[in-house]
A and B are shown apart, each in its own frame.
Chain A
Amino acid sequence: MSVETHAHSNPHHEHPDVVGSRNRLGVILILVADIAFALSVIFVYFYLKGQNVNDMWLPKASDTAGATTPVSSMGAWYLTLIAGVGLLTHSYALAGVRAKNQTQLKLGSLVALIASVVGLVYQGMQINNVSFTITMGAYASCYYLIAGLNFMHLLFTVFIALGNWNRSRLGIYAQDHWHVDIVNVWWIWMTVSSLLGAFALSFS
């Protein structure tokens, strides 16, 4: 995603709005794929829960393993909240750059970055502290899937937020800022996907 790609109507710049709108569409299309993936994960959760094959959605205690008790979905909701904070602070940063306020941009970007790191660490801790292994029934498998994928999302978000903050710091967004715009789109999806996961997990 460099500011100028080599092949344009002239070796000189295309208008940033044109480049920005093009990149925005591309990102949204990639997100369509991610949305399809996420919705399928939610489908998996509710399908297996509904089927409860051999009564093993939440297996009772057996000779080899304890009973699987579902975790409270509050952890997932807190994560959604943290993602929401990241979204809000990044939106604040975006408003800043639109208003030519570089300080607001940098501040908002930094706080968003911190939020993403906090979220990542917190998600990691939650997975670590859960009382069942992935082998203990279909709910357990689904929990690890949802939590693990959310962790991957957060990892990606850290990368994006870090880049966004670093580039803001370097003054790259003094002129055009469609990158910051697009990062906002990502934060929206980060929050929504977290929410989807929390929603599913609240039906255990």
Chain B
Amino acid sequence: MTTLTNRPASAPGSSAPKKALMERLNVFTAFGLGIIMAVVFWYAAKALLPANTDGSFIKTNRDQWVLLSMIGWFIGFMTGIGALIGPFRWLLGKDLNHDENMFYAGKDQGVKRYFRYTTDHKVVGIQYLVVTTVIFFVGGVLAMLIRTNLGHPGGGWLQPQTYNAIVGTHGIIMIVGTIIMITGPFGNFIMPIMIGARDMAFPRLNALSFWLIVAALPPILSSFFLGGIPTGWSAYNPLADQAPPGMDGYIMFICIFAISTMVAGANITTTVVKMRAKGMTWNRTPIFIYGTVASVALALPAFPVFFLSQVMSALDRATGSTFYDTRGGGSGWLYENLFWIMGHPEVYVILIPAVAALMEMAPVFTRRPLFSFNLAIMGIAGISGLSVLVWAHHMYMTGWAPLLAGPFMLTTELISIPTGMLFLVLIGTLWRGRLWMTMPTASIYALLWNFMIGGITGIYLSDVPADAFLHGSMYVTAHFHYTLMGAGLTGAIASLVFWFPKMTGRMFDKTLSWVAFWLIQIGFNVAFMGMFMVGLAGQPRRVEAYAHMYSQGNMITTAGAYVIMAGMLVLLHGMITSWRSGVMAPMNPWFGKTLEWTVPNPVPLENFEVLPIVTEDAYGYGRKQS
């Protein structure tokens, strides 16, 4: 086996030692091999599969070729990035030696390590940060297209097929972006250091979970060139069955993403359960860790159900099976149940890390202990537990199981109780603290405002009779933007500014962070308040044109959206300039007490010289009353 780090200088001629396979593989070989395999599978499918249809149900050859081609892309990409090296070395009994593991960890590779299958959790965290930014950028562009269309009085500037494709793709891209926005960058980079570990439990799985996300992106982006998706982000069948091949891009996106989520869930949970520093009992474990684990532990059993729903959709489309086609004994309600069994827990997968991150920041910026750590845990646990019992509140209007409307209304309203606990923890921590006003501090207030609105509007929606009016209208869209974006994204942006110094060694430019904060928050509230109004007045969701009575409300929302865009661009600008030339950050700029602030910048490869021993929790702020 060629050695990696201690190679003699290469002599001319054939005696130079060969580069190991893993040294040659990177994102470029991955893309290259992926594209080659996509093309090969396409032509092989065309040549070898029988020509079109026999049965009486919808099935097309095109879907078969597209799906198989995308599977080829996936196999090629993952092979090209080197994901298969580990399993095959295991099969052959040739386990990686220390040097090879060090290579994988990115030792001595400089910036190249970000383009490879690198296992160092800090590299993976940065990779996630960059890709999440890209995902939000694309989703944001799509949002601006939507709002520009709707800002035009009466809408109707974009063609229906284009508009529907943009709406659905915006939705699913943002959902994936919001799922990974905190557990990706910060769950990976910060979490292991925060628990006093040297890395995650399964470093190679960590790299895998990241590169799966990269592999998943071309399929969904290619959907625009394949006719787009006509469904919203929820991809309801039977409409999805009818859809052009762009739908197959959505299906592949979800299938690959589901694997990434499952892998990340196992990795993060095992890391936290098994690798906390000596002395870090559960009582001394920071609340951010609880939030991160709850989120991935919830996603772990929920996403496979989504995965299955898409596999069945692919089968209906490509083979003529009839899981969702009532003409063949299938049922649209089956799809809706499977989807929402995942879909509801999923919104808490998005929300919990954001709230937990802000709960972690609150004591730092009020210089007092977190208010009621136990209540915070109960709130997180209560939300997680109840979230698997509420899914059919998305189905009140389907006519499925009217007898279950009452029980689901009960469980859904009950979730407001643990949610309220989280409010109490946050406001209780702000109360009688010594307020240190930073952009993350302001974000806590913004979350309280936005989440209050999001939460209360959720209560109206949870009421079946009121939902008979509100379901399927823009009111719903406004509600979930308030919770996922107003609360969730606010927490993520605060996390970015808060942990930026540790991740990049530089401070996030203060002025830019404040400007971005105000532009985003004001733009957001204007935009989505306007949206509540048109929803209450009867505008359905997912429409590219609307009655003229809604024009004013839509123009207000669009104006707000442009302000958000300005804020997001300022944030992006801040991120880039701060990363390149920001003020160098001290080791502990926020004078925080969690373990990540005890390691120097840049964080050494193995985090700690000597693993810490923890003797108290991280909330020991404040002075004893004399």
Whether B55 contacts A21 by the Cβ 8 Å rule is no
Q: Does B262 count as interface, using CB distance less than 8 angstroms?
A: yes
Q: Does A59 contact B (CB under 8 A)?
A: yes
Residue A29 at the chain B interface, CB threshold 8 Å: yes
Residues of B within 8 Å of A4, CB to CB, are: 95-96, 98, 101
A37–B308 CB distance below 8 A: yes
Assuming the contacts A6-B102, A29-B300, A137-B329, asked whether A44 and B322 have C-beta atoms less than 8 A apart, the reply is no
A44/B323 in contact, CB under 8 A: yes
Of A75-83, A95-103, A104-112, A139-147, the one touching chain B: A139-147
Which residue of the partner chain, among A9, A53, A145, A167, contacts B198 with CB atoms under 8 Å? A9
Contact with A along B311-337 (1 / 0, CB 8 A): 110010001111100111111011001
Q: Would B93 and A53 count as touching, CB distance under 8 A?
A: no
Chain B residues lying within 8 Å of A139, measured Cβ to Cβ, are 329
Nearest chain B CB to A37 CB, angstrom units: 4
Question: Which B residues are in CB contact (< 8 Å) with A37?
Answer: 304-305, 307-308
With contact pairs A6-B104, A135-B59 given, residues A29 and B266 touching in the complex (Cβ less than 8 Å): yes
Inter-subunit contact B308/A134 (CB<8 Å): no
Would you call B95 and A2 a contact (CB within 8 A)?
yes
- B323 CB contact (under 8 Å) in A2, A6, A48, A170: A48
Q: Determine, out of B268-276, B414-422, B475-483, the stretch whose residues face the partner at the interface.
A: B268-276
Binds A, one of B18-26, B139-147, B199-207, B366-374: B199-207
List, in ascending order, chain A residues with CB within 8 A of B270's CB.
Answer: 22, 25-26, 29
Is there an interface contact between B334 and A47, defined as CB atoms closer than 8 Å? yes
Shortest C-beta distance, B341 to chain A (Å), equals: 8
Give chain A nearest CB distance to B387 CB in angstroms: 14
Complex interface residues of chain B between 569 and 617 (CB less than 8 A to chain A): 605-606, 611
Q: Is the CB of A138 within 8 A of B302?
A: no
Contacting residues of chain B (389-413) with chain A, CB-CB under 8 angstroms:
none
Which residues of chain B come closer than 8 Å to A29, judged between CB atoms?
A: 265-266, 269-270, 300
Question: Considering the complex, which residues of chain A in the window 144-189 have a beta carbon less than 8 Å from any beta carbon of chain B?
Answer: 144-145, 159, 162-163, 166-167, 169-170, 172
Task: Please indicate the chain A residues that have their CB under 8 angstroms from the CB of B300 in the complex.
Answer: 29, 32-33, 36
The reply to whether A138 and B304 form a contact with Cβ atoms under 8 Å apart is no
A52 CA / B302 CA spacing, docked (Å): 26
A22 touches B326 (CB 8 A): no
Pair A21/B274 contact, Cβ less than 8 Å: yes
Closest to A133 in B: B55
**B residues 83-120 with Cβ under 8 Å of A?**
86-87, 89-93, 95-96, 98, 101-102, 104-105, 119-120
Given A26-B201, A40-B304, also A167-B93 (CB < 8 A):
yes
Task: Please provide the chain A residues from 36 to 73 with a CB less than 8 Å away from any CB of chain B in the complex.
Answer: 36-37, 40-41, 43-44, 47-48, 51-57, 59, 62, 64-65
Report the minimal beta-carbon distance from A10 to chain B, rounded to whole angstroms. Answer: 9
State in angstroms the CA–CA spacing of A170 and B267 once bound together: 29
CB 8 Å contact bits of B246-286 with A (1 = contact, 0 = none): 00000000000000001101110110011100000000000
B211 to chain A, nearest CB (A): 17
Q: Is the CB of B203 within 8 A of A40?
A: no
Q: Is B518 an interface residue (CB 8 A)?
A: no
Residues of B within 8 A of A6 (CB): 98, 101-102, 104-105, 119, 199, 203
Alpha-carbon distance A54/B338, docked complex (angstroms) = 21
Smallest Cβ-Cβ distance to B205: which chain A residue: A26
Complex: A30 Cα to B266 Cα, angstroms: 6
- Name A's interface SS: helix
**Complex Cα gap A43–B338 (Å):** 9
Interface size class of B (residues with CB under 8 A): 35 or more
Contact A33 B301, beta carbon cutoff 8 Å: yes
The tally of CB-CB contacts under 8 A between chains A and B is 196
Interface centre among A5, A33, A47 (most CB of B within 10 A): A33
| Interface contact A56-B98, CB-CB below 8 Å | no
> With an 8 A cutoff between CB atoms, is A121 at the interface?
no
Which of A47, A134, A162 is the one whose CB lies under 8 Å from B320? A134
Contacts of B120 in A (CB 8 A): 7
- Taking the complex as formed, is B57 at the interface, i.e. its CB lies under 8 A from any CB of chain A? yes
Asked whether any CB of chain A lies closer than 8 Å to the CB of B303, the reply is yes
On chain A, the residues within 8 Å of B203 by CB distance are 5-7
A125 within 8 A of B: no
A64 & B56 in contact (Cβ 8 Å cutoff): yes
Kindly state the separation between the CA atoms of A37 and B341 in the bound complex, as whole angstroms.
12
What separation, in Å, do the CA atoms of A49 and B504 have in the docked complex? 56
Question: Is A74 on the interface with B (CB-CB < 8 A)?
Answer: no
Given contacts A48-B323, A144-B321, contact A40 B308 (CB under 8 A): yes
Q: Is the CB of B273 within 8 A of A11?
A: no
Q: Do A7 and B305 touch (CB < 8 A)?
A: no
| A65 touching B55 in the complex, CB below 8 Å, given contacts A138-B323, A162-B91 | yes
Which residues of B lie under 8 Å from residue A53 when comparing CB positions? 326, 329-331
- Which of A6, A37, A172 neighbours the largest number of chain B CB atoms within 10 Å of its CB? A6
Nearest A-chain residue to B274, judged by Cβ = A22
Q: B319 to A159, Cβ gap below 8 A?
A: no
A64: chain B residues within 8 A (beta carbon): 54-56
| Residues of A contacting B101 in the complex (Cβ-Cβ under 8 angstroms) | 2, 4-6
A141 contacts B323, C-beta separation under 8 Å: yes
Our pick among B96, B308, B605 for the contact of A2 (Cβ within 8 Å) is: B96
Q: Which of B269, B302, B330 contacts A141 (CB 8 A)?
A: B330
Check B98–A11 contact: CB distance below 8 A: yes
B274 near A141: Cβ-Cβ < 8 Å: no
- Given A7-B203, A36-B305, A135 and B328 contact (CB-CB distance below 8 Å): yes
Whether the pair A141, B90 counts as a contact (CB closer than 8 A) is no
- B54 neighbours in A (Cβ, 8 Å): 64, 133, 135
Q: How far does the Cβ of B403 sit from chain A's closest Cβ, in whole Å?
A: 15
CB distance from A204 to the nearest CB of B (A): 13
Chain B CB count within 10 A is highest, among A65, A141, A167, for A141
Chain B: minimal CB distance from A192 (Å): 16
* Chain B residue nearest to A6 in the complex (CB): B101
- On whether the beta carbons of A40 and B305 are closer than 8 Å, the reply is yes
- Cα distance, A59 to B57, chains bound together (Å): 14
Contact, CB under 8 Å: A137 / B322: yes
Q: Are B329 and A5 in contact (CB under 8 A)?
A: no
10 A-B pairs within 8 Å (CB atoms) are namely: A7-B119, A23-B202, A36-B302, A37-B308, A44-B323, A51-B329, A52-B329, A134-B319, A138-B322, A138-B330
Q: A21-B274, A40-B305, A145-B323 are in contact. List 4 more A-B contacts (CB 8 A).
A: A37-B308, A48-B329, A142-B323, A145-B315
The 8 A-B pairs at the shortest CB distance, nearest first, are namely A56-B329, A138-B329, A6-B101, A7-B199, A135-B55, A37-B304, A141-B321, A29-B266
